[in-house]
Each structure stands twice: as structure tokens, then as C-alpha cells.
């Protein structure tokens, strides 16, 4: 059988564009002489549709789209993902379904069984789990159709124990195993993290090994607000050989012929930093494109975080569409301005220099009757950050720029940022990238020549809000801080566990306390592009006043 894998970028709720994209892919599959073309999970409406799924008209639009797409399946069959109404009054109103379309109509419908409700997922909020298990026949082949999570929990007696997570009590492919499926197809919308491609390959291989059938896995690509989807769709033979793997972060349609002598290809195995680099560019590009924005603005400080964000934004939007404001104060070093100018020139990106010292002095003069002789502290520091935010937002309002936030994950974790100041923005670009990873990104960007000026990479990080300030005045060195943060945030380990392993007790307690007591700030920051297995935002839900540490 010849199967086309359609790895495409959808727009949530844009039925006209999504439907046309699917129809165009069907026509391309016809030209490739495919028998079947497979699309991704909920591709008709886009994933995740979230509370749009509660609108009756939204579901009616999905049904209309399915009928429209079905009319184009006379020469090639298509498996398309969309919500469908639950015909029974009991249970949730919808199923997460895969529609098998052929000869102009719906031939089969398969509903999703395993509904993830963890981290960024909340599918049981909307969908009823499938309880009817069957295979389908097409051109003499018995096919088991699954949807995303349905293959991610392999039954416990598999040889690969790591593939089993006892989160579920039902294993969809085990339920149809007696029907001896000759092909497994999985429609997926699996969000990116820098370890996800390894997990994906492990899970697919475990399923192939257990069920002794080839597996076609089609994942969507593109970004939906903070979630990024990397594609990486795979066709794997019954012997565990990769017959095709589609590229990461790109739309692609590829034909695979399932036959005994089909050529194999080595699986892609990129390193985390190049993946994060490409994911962030896609995340910025799709956020702007799908919202109808074209131009970005950011405050360029001369530090590494804003430098990386400027580079990524120019790659995503074009160098002429990203404006930098350089806003030195009396505490800013000359090299910070010089480094920023050099970076803008390297990227051929426009910039303005707007000193804030006079504005800052006016604030101090206005407040002096109230501040009296109280010592300089964070109040004066934060005034500078908030002046910069006001200037950036003035440009945003006047000229239609969207402000990019440059805070990294280390800073966001411990609250090292000014609310309504440098924490402002429409999109958090680096909020899921630790400071040590930011430096690794800079080295990757400079791998073929200096783009980020060398001095930005070598100088000590500083907010430059008071004389001779350095980040280490307030925080542990980032190489130590990031290790503790990773253990707490990604691995959900306690302070007691880290102290037992030899971490300095006062340091661990201090870091944990900073993370927890700054939850209120993170509730107010812009959406953060997710690139790790555990990002701030909807995937990490904490009480603002929680004291556990």
C-alpha cells in the first residue's frame, strides 16, 4: 500500500484555511499515486481547540468541513482528525475522532480512547473516551487506527518496561490485537520539548515490537500560542526499521510504500540546542502570523538574553520587521550600548537610542517628598525598568509593534525581573530556556561566525540598575542555580532530596523559597514558548500562596 504522510501546520478555528490545506494535500497525494493519505489529530479545527469545543457552531463547522473534505476522496482515501458529537446523552458531548473518508463519504470513525489530563493536556474536560474497539479494512489490509495518546502507554508485559506508564487501565491496541491488524496508524498532535523526539521514537518502536505491525505516525507541525509542534512524523516497518521520518518544524507530504523491500533510513537525532533554536523561531513566526501581526519590538540591553531574542525574531519575521530600543540610564555601561549597536548592525536590524536618565530624574524629583532620605533600593531600580516598558509600549501602540519579552527561565523562576517593567510583553521567547541554555544558544548561533558580539557572551550578567551591579549579587552562579531549578521544576524533587544528595542546605532552601514566593509574578507574565518537558504556564499549576519547600 502507498501511504502519504501529511505533516501540516493548522490554525485553530480557521476552518476555511484548514479545509483547503487538507484538500490540497489530498490532491497532492493523488499526484503521488497514494492509496491513502493520513493527517494529524483534530486537524480540521486545529489542536488544541480548548474551550472553542464548547461552542455548538464550532462543532457544526467541523462537521461541515468533514463533508467538504470527503467530497474530494474519490481517488484516494484520507484519515482526518476532528471532534464529533456523542450520540448518547450520557458522558461528555464530544469524541476526539479520526474519520476515514473514501469515495466521497465517511466510511469509518474511530474515537480516541486515552484522554491525557496532565501537564499541558486537558482532554477529559471536553471528550468522552472510546469504549468500542475495532479495526477497519481498506484494500485488503486490516488497519488499527489510533489517536496520539492511544499508543503512548504500551501494555505492561511489553519487553520495554519504560514504555509503560500505569496511568491507564485500557490499552487500545491490545483490545484489537485478536483482530490481527496488519497496519497501525496514529494521528497525533504531540507538543514539542527538546526530549520529545527521543520519547516518540522509543514509544513507536515499542508498539511495533509488541504488535508486530508497521506503524504510520503523523504529527502536526506549527505553533499554537505557547505550544510548539515539531512534526517529525514517522513510518516504521514491522521489524522496527524507519522507512521515513519527516523533517522537524517544516510542513511536508511524503509518500511511503509498505512492502518487504522498502528502503530504510536512519532516524533523525538532533541535539537539544539546535532543536530549541528552531522551535523558538517557529514559535515566534506562527504567533505573529496567526494573529495577523508583522512587526516586533524589544528592549535591547546589551545583555545576552535580549541579544538572543533579537536574533531569533529577525530570523522569524525578517530583519526589517524587528525594532530595538536601546534605553541607557546613568548606570548603563558604554559597552552595553556599543555591543547592542554592533548586534543590530550584524543583523541589519533597525534601532533607536533613547536615554532614560532625564525621565528617571523627573520620577525621583516627583517622589522625593515622599521617599525623603530613605536609602536607594529596588524601588529606584524598578522605576528604570518600568520607564523602559512605558517607552516600548508607546512605540507598540503608535506603530503596531508587538513587544517581545526577553526574560529567561532562570530569572522567571526566582522572580528576578520587574513586574510591569522587563516582565512586560506579548510573548515570552526565552521563558522556558535556562540561562546556561541561553549561552549554549548563543554559541550555536555563532557557530559559523560572530553574530552575537563576543563581549556579550563573556561579560558578567547584570541588570545595570545600580552601580557595579551583577546578577551574582542577588543570585547564585547560574551554573549552580540552573541545576537546582531543573531538579525542582522539571524533575519535581524536594529540597530534602537535594540536600541529602549533597547540595548546600541554605542554598537549596533559598532557591526553593524564591521560586515559590514569586509565583504571583509568573501569573502575570505573557505566554511563554514551551520547549522543555515542564514549562511555566498551563503545564505547571501552583498556588500563589503555597509554602511547600
- Give the containing element (helix H, strand E) for 229: strand 227-230
| Cβ–Cβ under 8 Å, residues 66 and 73 | no
Which position among 43, 45, 148, 344 bears the catalytic label?
148
Query: Helix 272-291 to helix 304-317 angle, to the nearest 10 degrees?
Result: 60
Report the C-alpha gap between 35 and 2 in whole angstroms. Answer: 5
For the chain, helix (H) and strand (E) counts, in that order, are: 16, 19
| Cβ–Cβ under 8 Å, residues 529 and 223 | yes
What DSSP string describes 365-388?
A: HHHHHHHTTPPP-HHHHHHHHHHH
Report the C-alpha gap between 247 and 231 in whole angstroms. Answer: 7
Report the C-alpha gap between 489 and 24 in whole angstroms. Answer: 43
| Cβ–Cβ under 8 Å, residues 517 and 415 | yes
For residue 36, what are the β-bridge partners?
A: 3, 77
- Give the containing element (helix H, strand E) for 296: strand 296-299
φ, ψ dihedrals at 371, nearest 5°: -75, -25
Report the C-alpha gap between 49 and 11 in whole angstroms. Answer: 10
Which position among 43, 45, 62, 112 bears the catalytic label?
112
What DSSP string describes 78-107?
A: EEEEEEEE-SSSSS-SEEEEEEEEETTEEE
User: Which strands, in side-by-side order, build the sheet including 427-428?
Assistant: 351-353, 322-326, 296-299, 402-405, 427-428
Report the C-alpha gap between 255 and 139 in whole angstroms. Answer: 17
State yes or no: is 112 an active-site residue.
yes
Contacts (Cβ under 8 Å, ≥6 apart) of 328: 336, 337, 353, 355, 356, 357
Which position among 21, 41, 149, 409 bears the catalytic label?
41
Q: Cβ of 408: how many Cβ atoms within 10 Å?
A: 28
Contacts (Cβ under 8 Å, ≥6 apart) of 107: 77, 100, 101, 136
End-to-end CA, the chain? 56
Report the C-alpha gap between 351 and 187 in whole angstroms. Answer: 45
Indicate if the alpha-carbon torsion angle 25, 30, 32, 35 is positive or negative.
positive
Report the C-alpha gap between 72 and 107 in whole angstroms. Answer: 14
Report the C-alpha gap between 174 and 133 in whole angstroms. Answer: 9
State yes or no: is 43 an active-site residue.
no
* Helix, strand, coil in percent for the chain, rounding step 5: 40, 20, 40
Catalytic residues, which ones? 41, 112, 148
Amino acid at each position: 500500500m502507498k501511504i502519504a504522510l501529511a505533516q501540516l501546520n493548522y490554525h485553530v478555528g480557521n476552518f476555511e484555511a484548514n479545509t483547503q490545506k487538507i484538500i490540497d494535500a489530498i490532491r497532492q497525494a493523488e499526484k503521488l499515486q497514494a492509496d491513502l493519505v493520513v493527517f494529524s489529530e483534530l486537524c480540521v479545527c486545529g489542536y488544541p481547540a480548548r474551550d472553542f469545543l464548547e461552542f455548538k457552531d464550532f462543532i457544526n463547522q467541523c462537521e461541515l468541513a468533514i463533508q467538504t473534505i470527503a467530497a474530494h476522496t474519490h481517488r484516494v482515501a484520507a484519515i482526518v482528525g476532528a471532534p464529533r458529537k456523542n450520540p448518547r446523552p450520557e458522558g461528555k458531548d464530544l469524541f476526539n475522532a479520526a474519520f476515514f473518508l473514501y469515495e466521497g463519504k465517511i466510511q469509518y470513525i474511530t474515537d480516541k480512547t486515552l484522554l491525557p489530563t496532565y501537564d499541558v493536556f486537558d482532554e477529559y474536560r471536553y471528550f468522552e473516551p472510546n469504549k468500542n474497539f475495532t479495526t477497519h479494512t481498506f484494500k485488503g489490509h486490516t488497519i488499527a487506527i489510533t489517536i496520539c495518546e492511544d499508543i503512548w502507554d504500551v501494555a505492561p508485559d511489553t519487553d520495554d518496561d519504560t514504555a509503560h506508564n500505569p496511568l491507564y487501565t485500557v490499552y487500545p491496541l491490545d483490545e484489537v490485537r485478536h483482530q490481527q491488524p496488519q497496519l497501525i496508524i496514529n494521528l497525533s498532535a504531540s507538543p514539542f520539548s527538546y526530549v520529545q523526539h527521543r520519547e516518540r521514537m522509543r514509544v513507536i518502536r515499542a508498539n511495533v515490537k509488541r504488535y508486530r505491525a508497521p506503524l504510520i505516525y503523523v504529527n502536526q507541525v506549527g505553533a499554537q500560542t505557547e505550544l510548539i509542534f515539531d512534526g517529525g512524523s514517522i513510518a516504521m516497518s514491522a521489524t522496527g526499521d524507519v522507512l521515513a521520518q519527516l523533517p522537524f518544524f517544516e510542513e511536508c507530504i511524503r509518500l511511503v510504500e509498505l512492502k518487504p523491500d522498502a528502503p530504510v533510513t536512519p532516524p533523525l537525532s538532533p541535539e537539544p540546542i539546535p532543536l530549541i533554536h528552531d522551535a523558538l523561531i517557529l514559535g515566534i513566526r506562527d504567533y505573529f502570523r496567526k494573529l495577523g501581526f508583522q512587526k516586533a519590538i524589544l528592549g535591547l540591553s546589551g545583555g545576552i538574553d535580549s541579544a538572543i531574542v533579537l536574533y531569533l525574531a529577525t530570523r522569524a519575521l525578517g530583519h526589517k520587521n524587528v525594532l530595538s530600543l536601546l534605553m541607557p540610564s546613568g548606570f548603563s555601561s558604554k559597552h552595553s550600548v556599543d555591543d547592542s549597536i554592533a548586534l543590530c548592525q550584524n543583523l541589519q536590524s533597525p534601532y533607536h537610542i533613547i536615554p532614560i536618565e532625564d525621565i528617571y530624574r523627573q520620577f525621583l524629583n516627583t517622589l522625593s517628598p515622599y521617599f525623603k532620605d530613605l536609602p536607594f533600593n529596588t524601588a529606584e531600580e524598578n522605576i528604570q525598568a518600568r520607564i523602559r516598558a512605558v517607552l516600548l509600549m508607546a512605540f507598540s501602540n503608535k506603530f503596531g509593534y508587538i513587544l517581545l519579552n526577553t526574560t529567561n527561565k532562570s530569572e522567571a523562576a526566582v522572580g528576578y525581573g520587574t513586574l510591569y517593567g522587563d516582565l512586560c510583553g506579548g510573548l515570552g521567547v526565552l521563558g522556558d530556556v535556562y540561562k546556561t541554555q541561553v549561552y549554549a544558544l548563543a554559541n550555536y548561533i555563532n557557530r559559523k561566525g560572530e553574530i552575537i558580539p563576543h563581549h556579550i557572551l563573556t561579560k558578567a550578567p547584570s541588570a545595570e540598575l545600580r552601580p557595579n551591579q551583577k546578577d551574582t549579587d542577588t543570585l547564585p552562579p547560574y551554573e549552580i542555580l540552573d541545576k537546582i531549578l531543573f531538579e525542582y521544576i522539571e524533575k519535581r524533587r524536594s529540597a530534602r532530596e537535594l540536600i541529602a544528595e549533597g547540595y548546600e542546605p541554605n542554598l537549596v532552601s533559598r532557591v526553593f523559597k524564591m521560586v515559590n514566593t514569586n509565583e504571583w509574578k509568573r501569573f502575570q507574565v505573557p505566554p511563554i514558548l514551551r520547549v522543555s518537558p515542564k514549562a511555566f504556564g498551563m503545564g505547571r499549576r501552583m498556588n500563589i500562596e503555597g509554602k511547600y519547600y
